[in-house]
Structure 1
Amino acid sequence: MAPFADADVGGTVGKMIIPVAGKGLSLGESLYRRYEAWLRRVENRSGCTVSADGALQALRRELYQPIPERVNDDFYINTCAPVAGKRVVYVDQATVLDCGVDEAERQFSRRQRVTVGGLISLAARRELLDPLRHGLYAIALISHKLVRRLAPVLLLPLLLVNFWLLD
């Protein structure tokens, strides 16, 4: 855990690899995980890693805070470091293998749980969304977690305007 030699580092995250089993959902999940790994590398270079897979993250013991009900524990634990003014760093060499989910119903249920829990988690950590207090981390958190989850809702008015413009 070399990153913890730096006193400014409060947490670390790794990457999840999903081997492609040849089915559509596994392929999609594998591609998504590769995109997330790339995004974490970019965030890490800018000093604001905002995402973690619960299967592979570490936090300094003294920064841990009890997890409220209904929040995503992965996200909540990962944000204990920034709340305390510490950084979270991405360790590309730290990997975990997961088999993924190939049943559409289970995948949809999981994504729904993660999305709703993520929004509840953001509400629980809303102080981190203030760019005046948390700088680039807040901006990365807003774009990576909030805007991505609200994109369908934000795009709906555009769809309606397109129908209106057709006339």
Structure 2
Amino acid sequence: MKRKYLMGIAMLLAALTLTSCNDFLDITPTGKVIAKTGKEYRALLTYEYKNFPEDRGLSTLRSDEMTLSKDATSTEDYDSYFDIWAWNDLKQQSTTVSFGWRRYYHAIYIANYIIEHQTNITEATSDEINQLVGEAYMMRAYCHFLLANLYADPYTHCNPATTRGI
């Protein structure tokens, strides 16, 4: 009987201990802004527009639109773009420019955040919220489109049932 009593007290103390720290995680980090207003969500999306990757032009190097030669190219450009032009993806030089796939996924993350939290946006009209969410859907779709075109195997050259995508 004494053992059951002690176990009961231990469970009660554990329950109190675990529930008493609930608001500990609700602290807003210092120096960080967690978007709440329409203006803050707009600033978040505008930041993504401003920093959107501009590397799609690098895919031109892999087409027949461009020829890369040491005679007609500066040494810096030749070292930066030769591996892309030569389709050398496995053992690139350290000077080779890389595609910015992480930036695309960051833009998708921000778009998803806006879409997911659209009901929490304050100090904005429903038209402003709809505009913001619509832009987030468009940004997410555009990023997926670009990622698929830059990194996924062409649909006609693979087995869709087994080939991985983005």
TM-score scaled by length of structure 2: 0.27
Larger radius of gyration: 2
TM-score scaled by length of structure 1: 0.27
Q: Which has the higher strand share?
A: 1
